[in-house]
């Protein structure tokens, strides 16, 4: 280890020199686009503030009396936890006040939330304020997932149809992960970058520039408890993952947290495939198109990976309802290609 006793501040200065905060990064990106209005920085600022507040609540969840069921159920009949409700309110408040958003599609709201006084605002945000909430009580990673769209037609009042856009029209997509550290990973269609929250500065700092998912990986993530209900092609693929074969590095490792962000984030960094297939209980899979699948699909494609429903590219699905579910095969390109090919066979 280097001895810095003669000049104790030196090493810190060195590290600080390369520090790029999220705010700085967004400002730099904006400067590259003539005519940028600053709308994105305002939306991101709202998301960032919301995430910092939720992060604070998540970190003290075991201490404060905010764990456990809230006693109400959301539109999909799932129990809401207190923190789900807090996170939903927090993001809706900040996004409503940023002056850029006309509507918010939230997992926790039955209908689109129309921002009061936001009729003339241009952007729509879809959000899962706290994904993986069944993991709150056991202290596993959870997160916030978001996508930003431009509304279709500014000449008339925004309506639900403006919210039902294909993933290919996303302007930005990202997630905050409240894990052993807190991170933001996002794309605006120009690669993927990751920022880690420096607790002492309370700033997200660029830590994972230009993230690329390995083309192939050795991890498969699926809830195997549902295997009796898997379609034949999915069962074949999972059996193939477990076979011994030196040349292809099999068997692969099975990793499943049951929190999409945590499972996705690990596979993004290490290479792997995440599958939530159709099952008898959930014929369209479990995960929601507008604020889970499309978001992750945009990120993974921008990182060099692939996302499919098994029959089509996720981002090309034409949504018919806000809380629509689709099957999801997502991750390293070669693994997803193989899984999808086996579905047909």
Binding residues for ligand AHM, per CB under 6 A? 78, 107, 128, 131-133, 223, 258-260, 286
CA 22 distance to own-chain centroid: 17
Tokens at 47, concatenated: 């998301």
Which 123-152 residues touch Mg ion, going by CB under 5 A? 128, 131
Comparing CB distances to ligand AHM, the nearer of 26 and 47 is 47
Comparing CB distances to ligand AHM, the nearer of 132 and 217 is 132
Nearest CA-CA partner of 128 in 67, 83, 169, 68: 83
Cis peptide before 283 (omega within 30 of 0): no
Contact 22, 201 (CB under 8 A): no
Nearest distance, CB of residue 281 and ligand AHM, angstroms:
9
Nearest distance, CB of residue 129 and Mg ion, angstroms:
9
Comparing CB distances to ligand AHM, the nearer of 133 and 309 is 133
Please report whether residue 263 would count as binding Mg ion according to CB under 5 A: no
N- to C-terminal Cα separation, the chain: 56
Comparing CB distances to ligand AHM, the nearer of 51 and 98 is 51
Q: Which does 42 bind (CB under 5 to 8 A by kind): ligand AHM, Mg ion, none?
A: none
Nearest distance, CB of residue 16 and ligand AHM, angstroms:
36
Q: Which does 133 bind (CB under 5 to 8 A by kind): ligand AHM, Mg ion, none?
A: ligand AHM
Helix (H) or strand (E) holding 274, with range, is: strand 273-276
Q: What angle do CA 167, 173, 174 make, to 5 degrees?
A: 145
Contact 220, 234 (CB under 8 A): no
**DSSP secondary structure string, 86-116?**
HHHHHHHHHHHHTSSEEEEEETT-SSPEEPT
Nearest distance, CB of residue 235 and ligand AHM, angstroms:
16
Contact 188, 29 (CB under 8 A): yes
Comparing CB distances to ligand AHM, the nearer of 98 and 289 is 289
Q: Which does 267 bind (CB under 5 to 8 A by kind): ligand AHM, Mg ion, none?
A: none
In terms of Cβ atoms closer than 10 Å to its own Cβ (0-12, 13-18, 19+), residue 236 is: middle
Q: At what angle do helices 260-270 and 294-302 cross, to 10 degrees?
A: 10
Nearest distance, CB of residue 149 and ligand AHM, angstroms:
20
Task: Give the interface size with Mg ion as a residue count (CB under 5 A).
Answer: 2
Nearest distance, CB of residue 77 and Mg ion, angstroms:
14
Q: Which does 223 bind (CB under 5 to 8 A by kind): Mg ion, ligand AHM, none?
A: ligand AHM
Write out the residues near Mg ion by the rule CB under 5 A.
Answer: 128, 131
């Amino acid at each position: 280890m280097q001895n810095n006793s003669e000049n104790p501040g030196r090493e810190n200065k060195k590290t600080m020199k390369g520090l790029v905060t999220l705010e700085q990064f967004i400002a730099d990106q904006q400067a590259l686009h003539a005519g940028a209005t600053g709308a994105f920085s305002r939306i991101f600022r709202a998301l960032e503030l919301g995430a910092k507040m939720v992060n604070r609540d998540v970190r003290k969840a075991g201490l404060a009396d905010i764990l456990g069921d809230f006693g109400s159920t959301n539109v999909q009949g799932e129990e809401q936890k207190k923190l789900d409700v807090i996170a939903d309110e927090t993001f809706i408040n900040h996004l409503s006040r940023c002056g850029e958003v006309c509507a918010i599609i939230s997992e926790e709201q039955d209908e689109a939330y129309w921002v009061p006084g936001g009729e003339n605002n241009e952007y729509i945000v879809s959000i899962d304020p706290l994904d993986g909430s069944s993991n709150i009580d056991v202290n596993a990673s959870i997160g916030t997932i978001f996508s930003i769209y431009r509304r279709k037609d500014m000449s008339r009042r925004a309506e639900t149809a403006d919210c039902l856009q294909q993933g290919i029209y996303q302007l930005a997509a990202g997630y905050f992960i409240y894990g052993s550290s807190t991170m933001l990973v996002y794309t605006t269609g120009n690669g993927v970058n990751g920022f880690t929250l420096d607790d002492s500065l309370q700033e997200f700092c660029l830590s994972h520039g230009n993230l690329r998912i390995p083309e192939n990986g050795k991890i498969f993530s699926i809830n195997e408890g549902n295997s009796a209900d898997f379609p034949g092609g999915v069962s074949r693929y999972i059996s193939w993952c477990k076979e011994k074969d030196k040349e292809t590095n099999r068997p692969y490792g099975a990793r499943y947290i049951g929190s999409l962000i945590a499972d996705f984030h690990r596979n993004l960094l290490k290479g792997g495939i995440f599958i939530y297939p159709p099952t008898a209980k959930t014929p369209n899979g479990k995960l929601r198109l507008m604020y889970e699948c499309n978001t992750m699909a945009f990120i993974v494609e921008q990182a060099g990976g692939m996302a499919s429903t098994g029959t089509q590219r996720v981002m090309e699905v034409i949504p018919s309802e806000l809380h629509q579910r689709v099957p999801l095969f997502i991750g390293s390109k070669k693994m997803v290609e193989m899984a999808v090919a086996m579905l047909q066979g």
